[in-house]
Amino acid sequence: MIRKASLTAALAEQRSDRRIEVLRRIQASGSISEAARQVGISYKAAWQALDTLSNLAGVELVQRSVGGRGGGGAVLTPDALLLLEAADAMGQAREQLQLQLQQAQSHAKGDAPRAGISVATTLARLQVVTSMRNQWPCVVRSLHADGPLVVVQMHGAEAGAQQFEVRSHITNESAQLLGLRPGLPVLAMCKATAVMVMPAGDAGQPAANHWQGTATRATRGGSVQEVAVRLAAGVQLVGFSGQATGLRARARVQVVVEPSAVVIALSGE
């Protein structure tokens, strides 16, 4: 009997396809190294994919076999087979939903003008549920290797926000599993506690993301001050400033976020 497993968690992100594809290739080849080669990622990245999916599911998904002419291999557990079956069903459901949305949009021609949003894109973004309050739709501009890390440069995806530039540092394995490339739509996210808000004119940190903006809301009391900021590009964010700064609404501010604090997510667009 298949053990009780939270396989839904392993399918929570629409764009977990590369990690799921590792499982598919292991099923076909019986080898983790061969699966990594076929997916186009490193052996280490393949193991990262398996570890992540196993943690999300709460059960082991791959069993290693030792010995034999090929020196051993890998076999999917019953839970992994169930996960693949669920992934295929979800993929078919997404395709059907996309078709229905396209048909609804085509039928709407000639009607009154609608709001300028993409329903499919917005719903995909909403499926990324996280405690991170700062979430910015972006597009990957460039990637540069820096030892074991990859520097990902992004800009805002929305009209009017393309001047918003944000940088993230992630591992090479994570970049491979996400399939990052220039032009790819992503969500850049960070916790409010990682956003430092300072009065305009304070010295910024050259290696960090550094933006200018206007405070739209500021709390009072306590040892720190929560500040909502609107940047010149129209992007909004929330961060914290030392209470001693005494920032108020409409004050000019600058914002600093370390690239290592910026998380990249694929929203399934």
Secondary structure element (H or E) that encloses residue 78, with its range: helix 78-107
Cβ distance 3 to 79 under 8 Å?
A: yes
The pair of structure tokens assigned to 78 is: 């019953």
Which amino acid appears at position 74 of this protein?
A: A
Entry pTM: 0.73
Measured distance CA(268)–CA(128) in Å, rounded? 9
Per-residue pLDDT in tens (0 to 9) along the chain, 269 residues:
344 444 444 444 444 468 889 999 999 999 999 999 999 999 999 998 888 888 778 888 998 876 544 445 899 999 999 989 888 887 777 677 667 766 676 666 555 545 555 555 555 555 556 678 898 889 999 999 999 999 999 999 877 788 899 999 999 999 999 999 999 999 899 999 999 999 987 555 667 899 999 999 888 766 788 999 999 888 989 999 986 677 888 999 999 999 999 999 886 55
Q: Check residue 108 and give its pLDDT.
A: 60
Q: Check residue 114 and give its pLDDT.
A: 53
Contacts 24+ apart (CB under 8 A), 6-12: 6/56, 6/57, 6/58, 7/57, 7/79, 7/82, 7/83, 7/86, 8/86, 9/56, 9/57, 9/58, 10/53, 10/56, 10/57, 10/83, 11/83, 11/86, 11/87, 11/90, 12/56, 12/127, 12/129
Q: Check residue 30 and give its pLDDT.
A: 93
Measured distance CA(141)–CA(206) in Å, rounded? 20
Cβ distance 125 to 136 under 8 Å?
A: no
Q: What is the DSSP letter of 249?
A: T
Q: Which residues make Cβ contacts (< 8 Å) with residue 268, sequence separation at least 6?
A: 13, 14, 15, 94, 124, 127
The pair of structure tokens assigned to 3 is: 């053990």
Q: Check residue 244 and give its pLDDT.
A: 67
The three-class DSSP label of residue 172 is: helix
Question: What does DSSP say about strands 224-231 and 209-218: parallel, antiparallel, or unpaired?
Answer: antiparallel
Q: Check residue 259 and give its pLDDT.
A: 96
Q: Check residue 227 and give its pLDDT.
A: 93
Measured distance CA(91)–CA(179) in Å, rounded? 18
